Amino acid sequence: MEIISNEKKKLSRQSSSFRLRSPSLNTLRLQRIFDLFDKNNDGFITVEELSQALSRLGLNADISELKPTIESFIKPNETGLRFDGFEALHKTLDESFFGGECECDGSPDSDLEEAFNVFDEDGDGFISPVELQNVLKKLGLPEAGEIEHVEKMIVSVDSNHDGRVDFFEFKNMMQSVLVPSS
């Protein structure tokens, strides 16, 4: 229990950017995260895949501590977590570490600000090509390979042509790709 208590303290001090807050988008976001973590696309996330994904995101966790918790959500005779187990694990961790309560103000922009802050690593209010590349690398995405490709991604949403993405440009880009929930 002391480990969980220490983890709660550590998580409460860290950025809450990894916490998924909007109930209407949670399932879609979790499915995208599940798909990213499922490196071999077999429909399962193994303990090893989850550990590697967390490490890439800078959340280094001891696999021996993760394993019993994760395995408790894996169905008998399966090699890893299916999406429903991953979703149940997320819900349990959310309730354990955050009390299951949303700290956001409920405004449509709060989720976007949270997402923007994941990319704005230095907190200067802009996403630079290097910051975007760093996050893409952490997620193991091939788009991170060449800075020229990342710069093209920035240019595609950089409406004021300053070579970086501010929150309003990010918001406009996200509104064009997000499908409203019904």
Task: Summarize pLDDT for 140-156 with one digit per residue, the tens.
Answer: 778 888 999 999 989 99
Averaged confidence pLDDT in the chain = 75
Q: Which domains does the chain have, with CATH numbers?
A: 23-98 (1.10.238.10), 108-173 (1.10.238.10)
The larger pLDDT score, comparing residue 88 to residue 128, is at 128
- pLDDT score recorded for residue 58: 64
Could you give the 3-state DSSP secondary structure of residue 42?
Answer: coil
What lies within 8 Å, CB to CB, of 46 at 6+ separation is 79, 80, 81
**How far is residue 15's CA from residue 11's CA, in Å, rounded to a whole number?**
8
Question: What mean pLDDT do residues 116-127 have?
Answer: 88
- What local confidence, expressed as pLDDT, does residue 162 receive? 94
Q: How confident is the model at residue 43 (pLDDT cuts 50, 70, 90)?
A: very high
Query: Three-state DSSP class for 105?
Result: coil
Please write the tens of the pLDDT for every residue from 77-107. Answer: 998 999 998 888 877 776 665 555 444 444 5
Residue 18 is predicted with a pLDDT of: 42
Q: What is the dihedral of CA 133, 135, 141, 143, to 10 degrees?
A: -20
